[in-house]
Chains A and B, each alone.
Chain A
Amino acid sequence: MIDLELVLDNLPLYLRGTWTTLWLTFASLALGLVLAVPLGLARTSRNPLINGPVWAYTYFFRGTPLLVQLFMIYYGAAQFAWIRESVLWPLLSQAWFCALLAFTLNTAAYTAEIVRGAVQATPRGEIEAARALGMPRALVLRRIVLPSAFRRALPAYGNEMVFMLHGSAVASTVTIVDLTGAARIVNSRYYSPYEAFLTAAFFYLLLTFAIVGLVKLLERRWYAHLRPHPG
């Protein structure tokens, strides 16, 4: 039924695609996380001038499809002369940069809301105790709030990592040969959709399990103090 020879012949293409998927996903996740921490903290602010714009940003990026966001950047940037004449144009005219930008902004929006939820769940007493010990606000943030917030955010962030991996498949719609792109090439070349897409699905499944396993490992480490002690 499945033509394994066809799959093996195209294995190098799939492996290159897997590599593209991996670096796009993890570069976006890393950049998105760096953006998300200050954005998430801004969302906990009571000042509407700080909270409002970040709220609008996360509302837009969480309320619209990633595919449309990617098209807005990849196809949309060329509409404006000031972008075409800017120093960023050599980057913005390339598919990989647009995908990286769209994915980063998207995951940053979701992650910012995860950070907000985790920070807001900090027990008040912990902050009050730290303040009472004379810690300045920045130190409270660094030593008390963020470490426990990261711990609380881990399960939700693990889901976000999987969503980003799966979401990155839309990169194949803007000429990028990621894992899905490789499958689309194989399908159009041999007209064998089962081999083409099931192979990609298999690789995605492996990557998903790897991420889930990684998060489980981290959870075991970070929640070690919460495990019941033997004896």
Chain B
Amino acid sequence: MKTDQGVERTAAVLGSRRARYVLAVVAAVAAAVGVRAKPEAAPGQVRQARLTRTESLSAPMKAYGSRTAPITMEVFTDYECPMCRNLYEQTLRPLINDYVASGKVYLVHRDYPLNIPAHKYSGQAARWANVAAQLGEFETVEAALYDNQQAWDASGDIGKYVASALSKSDFSRVQRIMDTCAPPGPKGSPGTVVTPPHPCEVDPYIEKDIELGNQLPVTGTPAWMIIYKGQRLPPSTGFVSWTVLKEFFDNLLARG
């Protein structure tokens, strides 16, 4: 009897201590989560909070077309790379307007800013594109970056050209985030991810892309990989014209 009473008392004490401990832990976690996710925050910041919980970069935000398309093309590019610009202007644009629009191809953009002296601003350009992508303006900003590549490559003033592509309100939202992103941005080279000295909130997404590229491996840009019905085909590097790429897609689609 005495033992039973003792057990009961001990259990009560332990239970209450445990309960207090658990409550303290839950309170601490709730406080931390509460700081991160502020429902009353601006749309951009809420979306950012959602993104930080995802393990990989949200493909639909830097992708074109339908995920159910039979062909997926993942393209690793550097915004400061002239061949990447040529690929975008001469191949990807017609691809987007034709085969992406008709649901044949799902095009995914991956960032791979090269860690070379000639591409001083490529990491920062990738940051601008990723911040814009968070706000649903990736397509517009990607076009602006490539269309004006030579200009911002010479001056380093990427914001000027992003501003010309976005509305005032959209640009101010992007600018607010970019004001916290001191250059340079993340860079990639075969087998390594060069993290910047001043991290920015979009850097994990760029670094994730670089890591994916290093698994390919990307040895130069543009690099791309085609996935057909779940099957990864060997990756390729360099420019490819739309005519030749289209024929490849047609042969794949004809196979059924």
Chain A complexes with chain B: no
